[in-house]
A and B are shown apart, each in its own frame.
Chain A
Amino acid sequence: MAEVLVVTSGKGGVGKTTSTAALGAALAQAGQNVVVVDFDVGLRNLDLVMGAERRVVYDLINVANGDVKLQQALIRDKRIDTLYLLAASQTRDKDALSEEGVRRCINELRARFDWVICDSPAGIERGAQLAMRFADLAVVVSNPEVSSVRDSDRIIGLLDSKTMKAASGERMEKLLLLTRYDKIRAGRGDMLSIDDVLEILSIPLLGIIPESEEVLRASNLGAPVTIANAQSAPARAYMDAAKRLQGESVPMTIPSGRQTLLTRLFGRRAA
């Protein structure tokens, strides 16, 4: 039975697209059949992070409107056989998506894949609501910072009222993915602590992704961070999160990068 997962946050720039790509790739690396779907119509990014921007012919809107078959729009990843991308349209806007079209498209994807991962646009408007509408499970991405946490809280409220699951009286499962976590700054008290965030949002923790330049490097390379540098701290954190999604129990740790003399000195001085 396929699991439809929405990656959402409310606030922009917290790491939804990065997390979609990294979780999708990590699940596919574990042998699962995965499709990542970009719902950010008009501002698509997932194709760039996946390194498939030159291969996009048809997109989500074409499929949702029934212009083309799903098969024609799916882009297979060149590195991992079981990873596919369904891109968003860059030239249309979010009104071009109909709820019925999205429902049909998600149902088709459900039949083909183990995991359907929907990358939600920022905001709480129609686009974000369509991305979450048919999901079974939500990954709420948040930075340890007050505005991001408040927006995540707002999104959790929407997940509890606007999704099909909520409308049919079921409980919508929500998991927190804390991204851009910086141990040193948290230690100094510049950021909200993990406990603070968990206390405010009161949903289970899926993983903590450390702040790392590897993430930026990977997206510039056009590869999910779990593929670009599987040994890096964020990649290991995403892989742990992917294992938790598959039901494995993995102890919650915050992986750190290999410490060079320079970072050690730097870290000590900063602390």
Chain B
Amino acid sequence: MTIATRPPRHSFRFRGRNFLALVLRPALPISGWLGELDDWLNRSPGFFTGKPLILDLAGVGLERADIVGLIGELKTRTIRIMGIEGVEASVLDDTLPPLLTGGRTLGAVEVAEAVSPPPAAAAAASDQVSTSDSTLPPVTIPGTESNRPNKAPTASAITPLPAQARQVASLLIETPVRSGQAVINTDGDVIVLGSVASGAEIIAAGSIHVYGTLRGRALAGVYGSETARVFCRRFEAELIAIGGHFKVTEEIDPQLRQKPVQAWVTGDELKIASLEQTDKETATWRKSS
């Protein structure tokens, strides 16, 4: 048996990590854009404080001197830039933030005011969710109000969920979700305490829990997660989807209507079963799942 005699060394490992950053995309003329930004900051003072910010300069074609000037202007507004996107590497030197490439847009986001609006507005939030050219649905932030024209300076911004919400990625909606509304959480579960109306839509990267009646559509695991599930206290859904597998009302056993149910994916199939039944026959469904 050999015993290691070498002195302990700190391992030198690199780790990759993904973070969400807010992207600012200035528009020409820069002075006009800065004016808009000032209006925005008047409405939401301190909005950018402590948030990671990327400056996307693609399409504005600024000279080095202009970039230095712009970053200076932003600094006077206490906005610090951690990286620059969309310029030639040669334009930037050591005094400027590093060049970033390969960013993946999550979607246009309706950014909440910095002041925290009432949670009651959460369900109303996505009534008019705007989707950018990206393939992923936009993030809906609790309290976002669709009727505020506050997208101006961050036209294609990605925003992280507010600091607190980032740790708890589930989105809790305490009001009923009305027909025509969509609640979207691209980070985790959606929990709805009220009912989800016919013609409403819940979209979650994780699972969906509805404590009222689910009459609308529930799309869980939208990024392909097949471990996501859909639970509801009373099942009258128009459509259930998990990780790309879906069923519409017609294909669902009518016996399950108005029952508390759960839906999950096993193998290549979307299964839906009464929760009452699950209770009684726990052993059998465990085997199959």
Interface residues of A (CB under 8 A from B): 124, 146, 150-151, 153-154, 156-158, 160-162, 166-167, 169, 171, 199-200, 202
Contact = CB atoms under 8 A, between A and B. Distances in A.
B145 A200 contact: no
Say whether chain A's binding surface is mostly helix, strand, loop, or mixed. helix
A169 B118 contact: yes
A154 B194 CA distance: 15
B147 A167 contact: yes
Contacts of B198: 146, 150, 153, 200
Given A160-B124, A202-B176, A153 B199 contact: yes
Contacts of A171: 120
Nearest to B148: A167
A154 B176 CA distance: 11
Interface in B141-166: 145-148
Interface in B104-130: 117-118, 120-121, 123-125, 127
Given A154-B178, A154-B179, A166-B121, A161 B145 contact: yes
Across the A-B interface, the 5 shortest Cβ-Cβ residue pairs: A157-B178, A161-B124, A153-B179, A154-B179, A154-B180
A160 B147 contact: no
Contact of B147 (A157, A161, A199): A161
Contacts of B195: 199-200, 202
Given A153-B179, A154-B180, A160 B121 contact: yes
B170 interface: no
Contacts of B25: none
Nearest to A158: B127
A157 B127 contact: yes
B47 to A, nearest CB: 17
B186 interface: no
Given A151-B179, A166-B121, 12 more contacts: A146-B198, A153-B198, A157-B124, A157-B127, A157-B179, A160-B120, A161-B125, A166-B124, A166-B145, A166-B147, A200-B198, A200-B213
B181 A199 contact: no
A131 to B, nearest CB: 16
B124 A154 contact: no
Contacts of A160: 120-121, 123-124, 175, 178
Given A154-B179, A154-B199, A161 B146 contact: yes
Contacts of B148: 167
B147 A150 contact: no
A124 B180 CA distance: 11
B205 interface: no
B99 interface: no
B43 to A, nearest CB: 13
A121 B14 CA distance: 63
B124 A199 contact: no
A158 B197 CA distance: 14
Contact of A161 (B127, B179, B194, B197): B127
A162 B147 CA distance: 7
26 contacts: A146-B198, A150-B198, A150-B199, A153-B179, A153-B197, A153-B199, A154-B179, A156-B178, A157-B123, A157-B124, A160-B121, A160-B124, A160-B175, A161-B121, A161-B147, A162-B147, A166-B124, A166-B147, A167-B145, A167-B147, A169-B118, A199-B195, A199-B213, A200-B197, A200-B213, A202-B194
Contacts of B147: 161-162, 166-167
A146 B146 CA distance: 28
A20 to B, nearest CB: 23
B180 A169 contact: no
B112 to A, nearest CB: 12
Contacts of B215: 200
A198 to B, nearest CB: 11
A153 B121 contact: no
A158 B123 CA distance: 11
Given A161-B145, A202-B195, A153 B120 contact: no
A150 B120 contact: no
A157 B181 contact: yes
A26 to B, nearest CB: 29
Nearest to B180: A154
A124 B125 CA distance: 17
Contacts of A153: 178-180, 197-199
A162 B178 CA distance: 14
